Copies of this chain bind each other. A is one copy, B any other.
Amino acid sequence: MTRRKRPTMIDVAEHAGVALRTVSRVVNNDPTVGTVFANRVQAAITALGYTPDERARHLRGGRSGLVGAAVRNLSAGHPVLGALDTTARAHGLTVLATATADEEDREREVVLSMCGRHLDGIVLEPVGDSHQYLSREIDAGTPIVAFDRPAGGITVDTVISDNAAGIGTAFRHLRGHGHRRVAYIGDEERIFTGHERAAAFRACMAASGEPVTGLVHPGVVAPARIAAALDAALRGPDPATAVITGNASTTLEVLRHLGSAAADLAIVGFDDFAVADLLRPAITVVAQDSDTIGRTAIDLLRHRIADHTRPVQTVTVSVELIVRGSGERPPHSGA
Protein backbone atom coordinates (compact mmCIF):
# COMPACT_ATOMS: atom_id res chain seq x y z
CA MET A 1 0.00 0.00 0.00
CA THR A 2 1.98 2.94 -1.33
CA ARG A 3 0.78 5.81 0.73
CA ARG A 4 0.63 8.27 -2.19
CA LYS A 5 0.47 11.86 -1.24
CA ARG A 6 -2.86 13.33 -2.18
CA PRO A 7 -2.54 15.40 -5.36
CA THR A 8 -3.28 19.11 -5.12
CA MET A 9 -4.53 21.55 -7.66
CA ILE A 10 -0.97 22.54 -8.39
CA ASP A 11 -0.11 18.97 -9.32
CA VAL A 12 -3.03 18.90 -11.69
CA ALA A 13 -1.98 22.23 -13.20
CA GLU A 14 1.53 20.98 -13.80
CA HIS A 15 0.35 17.70 -15.20
CA ALA A 16 -1.97 19.50 -17.60
CA GLY A 17 0.51 22.24 -18.36
CA VAL A 18 -1.87 25.04 -17.41
CA ALA A 19 -2.09 27.63 -14.71
CA LEU A 20 -3.53 26.91 -11.31
CA ARG A 21 -6.35 29.28 -12.01
CA THR A 22 -7.51 27.25 -14.96
CA VAL A 23 -7.78 24.10 -12.92
CA SER A 24 -9.82 25.98 -10.37
CA ARG A 25 -12.10 27.15 -13.13
CA VAL A 26 -12.62 23.66 -14.45
CA VAL A 27 -13.31 22.26 -11.00
CA ASN A 28 -15.92 24.96 -10.46
CA ASN A 29 -17.49 24.51 -13.89
CA ASP A 30 -16.63 28.01 -14.96
CA PRO A 31 -18.03 28.28 -18.50
CA THR A 32 -15.26 30.65 -19.62
CA VAL A 33 -12.71 27.86 -20.08
CA GLY A 34 -11.93 26.74 -23.58
CA THR A 35 -12.95 23.20 -24.46
CA VAL A 36 -9.40 22.21 -25.28
CA PHE A 37 -8.03 23.27 -21.93
CA ALA A 38 -11.03 21.94 -20.09
CA ASN A 39 -10.50 18.49 -21.54
CA ARG A 40 -6.79 18.59 -20.84
CA VAL A 41 -7.47 19.51 -17.22
CA GLN A 42 -10.16 16.87 -16.85
CA ALA A 43 -7.75 14.27 -18.14
CA ALA A 44 -5.13 15.33 -15.64
CA ILE A 45 -7.69 15.24 -12.85
CA THR A 46 -8.71 11.69 -13.54
CA ALA A 47 -5.15 10.60 -14.25
CA LEU A 48 -3.99 11.85 -10.88
CA GLY A 49 -7.18 11.03 -9.05
CA TYR A 50 -7.47 14.55 -7.81
CA THR A 51 -10.22 15.49 -5.39
CA PRO A 52 -10.56 19.06 -4.19
CA ASP A 53 -9.85 19.80 -0.55
CA GLU A 54 -13.14 21.04 0.82
CA ARG A 55 -11.50 22.60 3.82
CA ALA A 56 -9.36 24.92 1.76
CA ARG A 57 -12.13 25.66 -0.67
CA HIS A 58 -14.45 26.53 2.14
CA LEU A 59 -11.85 28.54 4.03
CA ARG A 60 -11.41 30.93 1.18
CA GLY A 61 -15.08 31.73 1.15
CA GLY A 62 -18.49 30.56 0.17
CA ARG A 63 -20.89 27.98 1.42
CA SER A 64 -20.09 24.47 2.53
CA GLY A 65 -23.52 22.98 1.89
CA LEU A 66 -23.42 21.48 5.37
CA VAL A 67 -25.87 21.98 8.16
CA GLY A 68 -25.21 20.62 11.62
CA ALA A 69 -27.92 18.94 13.64
CA ALA A 70 -27.31 18.63 17.36
CA VAL A 71 -29.89 16.22 18.70
CA ARG A 72 -30.38 14.57 22.03
CA ASN A 73 -29.87 11.04 20.91
CA LEU A 74 -28.73 9.26 17.82
CA SER A 75 -29.46 5.66 18.67
CA ALA A 76 -33.06 5.75 19.81
CA GLY A 77 -34.37 6.91 16.49
CA HIS A 78 -35.45 10.35 15.70
CA PRO A 79 -38.26 10.91 13.22
CA VAL A 80 -37.50 14.63 13.03
CA LEU A 81 -33.92 13.88 12.04
CA GLY A 82 -35.18 11.92 9.08
CA ALA A 83 -37.34 14.84 7.99
CA LEU A 84 -34.45 17.26 8.45
CA ASP A 85 -32.28 15.08 6.30
CA THR A 86 -34.85 14.63 3.55
CA THR A 87 -35.70 18.31 3.35
CA ALA A 88 -32.07 19.36 3.49
CA ARG A 89 -31.19 17.00 0.67
CA ALA A 90 -33.99 18.41 -1.42
CA HIS A 91 -32.23 21.76 -1.19
CA GLY A 92 -28.74 20.46 -1.84
CA LEU A 93 -27.71 20.50 1.79
CA THR A 94 -26.21 17.66 3.78
CA VAL A 95 -27.07 17.14 7.42
CA LEU A 96 -24.31 16.21 9.82
CA ALA A 97 -25.91 14.92 12.98
CA THR A 98 -24.26 14.63 16.31
CA ALA A 99 -25.55 13.69 19.74
CA THR A 100 -25.74 15.99 22.73
CA ALA A 101 -26.46 13.00 24.96
CA ASP A 102 -28.87 15.22 26.89
CA GLU A 103 -25.94 16.93 28.58
CA GLU A 104 -25.63 20.69 28.55
CA ASP A 105 -21.84 20.58 28.47
CA ARG A 106 -21.81 18.22 25.58
CA GLU A 107 -24.28 20.35 23.67
CA ARG A 108 -22.12 23.42 24.18
CA GLU A 109 -19.10 21.51 23.02
CA VAL A 110 -20.57 20.10 19.84
CA VAL A 111 -22.50 23.20 18.87
CA LEU A 112 -19.52 25.50 19.36
CA SER A 113 -17.43 23.04 17.40
CA MET A 114 -19.97 23.28 14.59
CA CYS A 115 -19.82 27.06 14.79
CA GLY A 116 -16.04 26.95 14.65
CA ARG A 117 -16.30 24.85 11.55
CA HIS A 118 -18.50 27.50 9.98
CA LEU A 119 -21.22 25.23 8.75
CA ASP A 120 -23.96 26.94 6.77
CA GLY A 121 -26.29 26.62 9.71
CA ILE A 122 -27.18 24.65 12.79
CA VAL A 123 -30.37 22.94 13.85
CA LEU A 124 -30.49 22.41 17.56
CA GLU A 125 -32.66 20.39 19.90
CA PRO A 126 -31.83 22.41 23.00
CA VAL A 127 -30.80 20.81 26.28
CA GLY A 128 -30.91 22.78 29.50
CA ASP A 129 -32.17 26.30 29.70
CA SER A 130 -29.30 28.62 28.98
CA HIS A 131 -27.97 28.97 25.49
CA GLN A 132 -26.41 32.36 25.95
CA TYR A 133 -23.10 30.93 24.88
CA LEU A 134 -24.53 31.15 21.39
CA SER A 135 -25.39 34.84 21.41
CA ARG A 136 -21.97 35.75 20.09
CA GLU A 137 -22.23 33.26 17.24
CA ILE A 138 -25.67 34.55 16.38
CA ASP A 139 -24.33 38.10 16.28
CA ALA A 140 -21.54 36.88 14.05
CA GLY A 141 -24.19 35.62 11.69
CA THR A 142 -24.36 31.88 12.26
CA PRO A 143 -27.91 30.78 11.38
CA ILE A 144 -29.40 28.72 14.18
CA VAL A 145 -32.81 27.10 14.52
CA ALA A 146 -34.15 25.40 17.64
CA PHE A 147 -36.73 22.65 17.53
CA ASP A 148 -38.85 20.68 19.98
CA ARG A 149 -38.20 23.32 22.68
CA PRO A 150 -37.05 26.91 22.75
CA ALA A 151 -33.44 27.86 23.38
CA GLY A 152 -33.07 29.92 26.54
CA GLY A 153 -31.58 33.37 26.71
CA ILE A 154 -31.26 33.83 22.97
CA THR A 155 -33.65 34.76 20.23
CA VAL A 156 -33.64 32.24 17.41
CA ASP A 157 -36.11 30.77 14.99
CA THR A 158 -37.93 27.95 16.70
CA VAL A 159 -40.23 25.07 15.81
CA ILE A 160 -42.26 23.40 18.52
CA SER A 161 -45.26 21.13 18.76
CA ASP A 162 -48.47 22.42 20.20
CA ASN A 163 -48.05 20.60 23.48
CA ALA A 164 -50.95 22.28 25.26
CA ALA A 165 -53.36 21.47 22.45
CA GLY A 166 -52.15 17.87 22.44
CA ILE A 167 -52.77 17.44 26.14
CA GLY A 168 -56.14 19.16 25.76
CA THR A 169 -57.13 16.79 22.98
CA ALA A 170 -56.09 13.74 24.96
CA PHE A 171 -57.90 15.01 28.01
CA ARG A 172 -61.14 15.79 26.24
CA HIS A 173 -60.97 12.43 24.47
CA LEU A 174 -60.83 10.61 27.78
CA ARG A 175 -63.55 12.80 29.29
CA GLY A 176 -65.67 12.03 26.29
CA HIS A 177 -65.31 8.35 27.09
CA GLY A 178 -66.58 8.94 30.59
CA HIS A 179 -63.37 9.35 32.54
CA ARG A 180 -63.45 11.77 35.39
CA ARG A 181 -60.31 10.79 37.27
CA VAL A 182 -57.44 11.13 34.80
CA ALA A 183 -53.81 10.89 35.82
CA TYR A 184 -50.77 12.36 34.08
CA ILE A 185 -47.32 10.79 34.18
CA GLY A 186 -44.57 12.50 32.25
CA ASP A 187 -41.12 14.01 32.05
CA GLU A 188 -39.45 16.19 34.62
CA GLU A 189 -40.77 19.71 34.67
CA ARG A 190 -37.29 21.16 34.25
CA ILE A 191 -37.53 19.86 30.69
CA PHE A 192 -39.54 22.26 28.55
CA THR A 193 -41.95 19.75 27.09
CA GLY A 194 -42.31 18.12 30.50
CA HIS A 195 -43.35 21.43 31.98
CA GLU A 196 -45.64 22.44 29.13
CA ARG A 197 -47.51 19.18 29.15
CA ALA A 198 -47.85 18.93 32.92
CA ALA A 199 -49.01 22.55 33.11
CA ALA A 200 -51.53 22.00 30.34
CA PHE A 201 -52.83 18.95 32.13
CA ARG A 202 -53.28 20.85 35.39
CA ALA A 203 -55.13 23.55 33.49
CA CYS A 204 -57.45 20.96 31.93
CA MET A 205 -58.25 19.41 35.25
CA ALA A 206 -58.83 22.80 36.82
CA ALA A 207 -61.13 23.82 33.98
CA SER A 208 -63.17 20.67 34.44
CA GLY A 209 -63.45 21.25 38.16
CA GLU A 210 -61.56 18.12 39.17
CA PRO A 211 -59.07 18.10 42.04
CA VAL A 212 -55.65 16.97 40.87
CA THR A 213 -54.39 15.59 44.15
CA GLY A 214 -52.29 12.50 43.51
CA LEU A 215 -52.87 12.63 39.78
CA VAL A 216 -50.06 14.75 38.34
CA HIS A 217 -46.70 12.98 38.22
CA PRO A 218 -43.90 14.65 36.38
CA GLY A 219 -40.42 13.22 36.98
CA VAL A 220 -37.53 11.28 35.56
CA VAL A 221 -38.30 8.51 33.12
CA ALA A 222 -37.13 5.57 35.21
CA PRO A 223 -38.97 2.32 35.94
CA ALA A 224 -39.08 2.82 39.70
CA ARG A 225 -40.29 6.42 39.55
CA ILE A 226 -42.98 5.58 37.05
CA ALA A 227 -44.09 2.52 38.96
CA ALA A 228 -44.45 4.64 42.08
CA ALA A 229 -46.37 7.34 40.21
CA LEU A 230 -48.72 4.78 38.75
CA ASP A 231 -49.32 3.12 42.09
CA ALA A 232 -50.05 6.48 43.66
CA ALA A 233 -52.54 7.35 40.93
CA LEU A 234 -54.38 4.03 41.13
CA ARG A 235 -54.53 3.85 44.90
CA GLY A 236 -56.96 5.38 47.35
CA PRO A 237 -60.70 5.81 47.50
CA ASP A 238 -61.03 7.59 44.17
CA PRO A 239 -58.39 6.11 41.84
CA ALA A 240 -57.66 7.23 38.31
CA THR A 241 -59.45 5.30 35.57
CA ALA A 242 -57.34 6.75 32.78
CA VAL A 243 -53.81 7.97 32.33
CA ILE A 244 -52.10 10.35 29.93
CA THR A 245 -48.42 9.64 29.46
CA GLY A 246 -46.14 12.54 28.62
CA ASN A 247 -43.82 10.87 26.14
CA ALA A 248 -43.16 7.58 24.39
CA SER A 249 -40.68 6.13 26.87
CA THR A 250 -43.09 6.82 29.70
CA THR A 251 -45.87 5.12 27.79
CA LEU A 252 -43.73 2.02 27.40
CA GLU A 253 -42.69 2.00 31.03
CA VAL A 254 -46.29 2.35 32.13
CA LEU A 255 -47.27 -0.59 29.94
CA ARG A 256 -44.38 -2.65 31.29
CA HIS A 257 -45.35 -1.93 34.85
CA LEU A 258 -49.04 -2.57 34.35
CA GLY A 259 -48.58 -5.82 32.48
CA SER A 260 -51.94 -7.48 31.97
CA ALA A 261 -53.50 -4.93 34.34
CA ALA A 262 -53.21 -2.49 31.45
CA ALA A 263 -56.56 -3.80 30.29
CA ASP A 264 -58.27 -2.05 33.20
CA LEU A 265 -57.00 1.41 32.40
CA ALA A 266 -57.62 3.80 29.54
CA ILE A 267 -54.34 5.15 28.15
CA VAL A 268 -53.48 7.96 25.78
CA GLY A 269 -49.80 8.51 25.13
CA PHE A 270 -48.07 11.66 23.97
CA ASP A 271 -45.84 10.76 21.02
CA ASP A 272 -46.44 7.96 18.58
CA PHE A 273 -44.06 5.00 18.49
CA ALA A 274 -43.21 2.28 16.04
CA VAL A 275 -45.39 -0.58 17.23
CA ALA A 276 -48.18 1.26 19.00
CA ASP A 277 -50.56 -0.48 16.60
CA LEU A 278 -49.24 -3.95 17.39
CA LEU A 279 -49.79 -3.86 21.10
CA ARG A 280 -53.00 -5.27 22.57
CA PRO A 281 -54.77 -3.07 23.11
CA ALA A 282 -53.25 -0.86 20.45
CA ILE A 283 -52.23 2.45 21.94
CA THR A 284 -54.11 5.66 21.25
CA VAL A 285 -51.63 8.49 20.98
CA VAL A 286 -51.21 12.18 20.38
CA ALA A 287 -48.70 12.15 17.53
CA GLN A 288 -46.33 14.96 16.76
CA ASP A 289 -45.94 15.89 13.12
CA SER A 290 -42.25 15.13 12.80
CA ASP A 291 -42.20 15.65 9.06
CA THR A 292 -43.55 19.15 9.35
CA ILE A 293 -41.24 19.95 12.25
CA GLY A 294 -38.15 18.84 10.35
CA ARG A 295 -39.21 20.50 7.13
CA THR A 296 -40.04 23.74 8.88
CA ALA A 297 -36.73 23.77 10.73
CA ILE A 298 -34.76 23.47 7.51
CA ASP A 299 -36.95 26.04 5.81
CA LEU A 300 -36.42 28.53 8.61
CA LEU A 301 -32.71 27.87 8.43
CA ARG A 302 -32.61 28.38 4.69
CA HIS A 303 -34.50 31.62 4.94
CA ARG A 304 -32.19 32.90 7.62
CA ILE A 305 -29.15 31.90 5.61
CA ALA A 306 -30.58 33.92 2.76
CA ASP A 307 -31.43 36.90 4.94
CA HIS A 308 -29.83 37.40 8.32
CA THR A 309 -31.99 40.38 9.11
CA ARG A 310 -35.42 38.83 8.77
CA PRO A 311 -37.50 38.80 11.93
CA VAL A 312 -37.09 35.80 14.18
CA GLN A 313 -40.13 33.58 14.31
CA THR A 314 -41.53 30.69 16.30
CA VAL A 315 -43.64 28.15 14.46
CA THR A 316 -46.03 25.94 16.37
CA VAL A 317 -46.87 22.66 14.67
CA SER A 318 -50.16 21.00 15.47
CA VAL A 319 -50.45 17.48 16.79
CA GLU A 320 -52.89 14.74 15.92
CA LEU A 321 -54.88 12.22 17.93
CA ILE A 322 -54.55 8.70 16.59
CA VAL A 323 -57.31 6.48 17.93
CA ARG A 324 -56.28 2.84 18.33
CA GLY A 325 -58.17 1.38 21.26
CA SER A 326 -56.40 2.02 24.52
CA GLY A 327 -57.95 5.45 24.91
CA GLU A 328 -61.52 4.47 24.17
CA ARG A 329 -62.21 2.14 27.04
CA PRO A 330 -64.81 3.20 29.59
CA PRO A 331 -63.88 3.69 33.21
CA HIS A 332 -63.17 0.41 34.95
CA SER A 333 -64.95 -0.05 38.26
CA GLY A 334 -62.02 -0.34 40.68
CA ALA A 335 -61.39 -3.70 42.39
**A residues at B contact (CB < 8 Å):** 1-6, 49, 51-56, 58-59, 68, 73-83, 85, 89, 94-99, 101, 106, 110, 112-113, 115-118, 136-137, 139-141, 252, 255-256, 273-275, 277-280, 290, 308-309
Closest to A75 in B: B82
Starting from the known contacts A3-B139, A96-B96, 19 additional A-B residue pairs (CB-CB under 8 Å) come to A1-B139, A6-B141, A51-B112, A53-B59, A54-B113, A54-B118, A55-B117, A68-B96, A74-B97, A76-B82, A82-B99, A85-B99, A85-B101, A95-B98, A96-B98, A252-B275, A275-B279, A278-B279, A280-B280
Complex: how many Å from CA A112 to CA B65?
14
Given contacts A3-B139, A51-B112, A275 and B277 within 8 Å (CB-CB): no
State how many angstroms separate the Cβ of A23 from the closest Cβ of chain B.
16
Q: Closest approach, in angstroms, between the C-beta of A254 and any C-beta of chain B?
A: 11
C-alpha gap A139/B141 in the complex (Å): 39
Please state if B278 and A255 are interface contacts (CB–CB under 8 Å): yes
Q: Can you name 6 A-B pairs with beta carbons within 8 Å?
A: A2-B139, A54-B117, A55-B55, A74-B74, A74-B78, A74-B97
Q: Which residues of B contact A54 (CB under 8 A)?
A: 113, 116-118
How often does this chain occur in the complex, in copies? 2
Q: Which of B85, B94, B118 interacts with A55 by CB under 8 Å?
A: B118
Closest 7 A-B residue pairs measured CB to CB?
Answer: A77-B77, A75-B82, A54-B116, A96-B96, A97-B97, A49-B136, A6-B140
Contact indicator A99/B95 (Cβ below 8 Å): yes
Closest to A116 in B: B54
Tell whether, in the assembled complex, residue A3 and residue B308 are in contact, meaning their CB atoms are under 8 Å apart: yes
When C-beta atoms are compared, the residue in chain B nearest to A135 turns out to be: B49
Q: Are B278 and A4 in contact, CB atoms less than 8 angstroms apart? A: no
- Which residues of chain B are within 8 angstroms of A110 by Cβ–Cβ distance? 94
Residues of B within 8 A of A74 (CB): 74, 78, 81-82, 85, 95, 97
For the complex formed, measure the closest distance between the CB of A99 and the CB atoms of chain B, giving whole angstroms: 5
Q: Give the chain B neighbours of A55 by CB distance below 8 A.
A: 55, 58-59, 117-118
Output the least CB separation between A45 and chain B (Å). 12
Q: Are B273 and A252 in touch, CB under 8 angstroms?
A: no
Q: Per a CB cutoff under 8 Å, which of B2, B115, B273 touches A274?
A: B273
Question: Nearest-CB distance from A65 to chain B (Å)?
Answer: 8
Given A59-B56, A274-B274, A279-B278, A1–B75 Cβ distance below 8 Å? no
Do residues A118 and B53 form an inter-chain contact, with CB atoms below 8 A?
A: yes
Question: Smallest Cβ distance from A162 to chain B, in angstroms?
Answer: 21
- What are the residues of chain B within 8 A of A117 when measuring CB–CB? 54-55
Q: Which chain B positions have C-beta within 8 A of A275? A: 252, 273-275, 278-279
Residues of B within 8 A of A59 (CB): 53, 55-56, 59
Q: Looking at the complex, which one of B80, B113, B140 makes contact with A94 (CB distance below 8 Å)?
A: B113
B279–A51 touching, CB < 8 Å: no
CA distance A27 to B279 in the complex (A): 55
With most chain B CB atoms within 10 A of its CB, the pick from A6, A96, A140 is A96
Residues of B near A52 (CB, < 8 A) are 116
CB distance from A76 to the nearest CB of B (A): 5
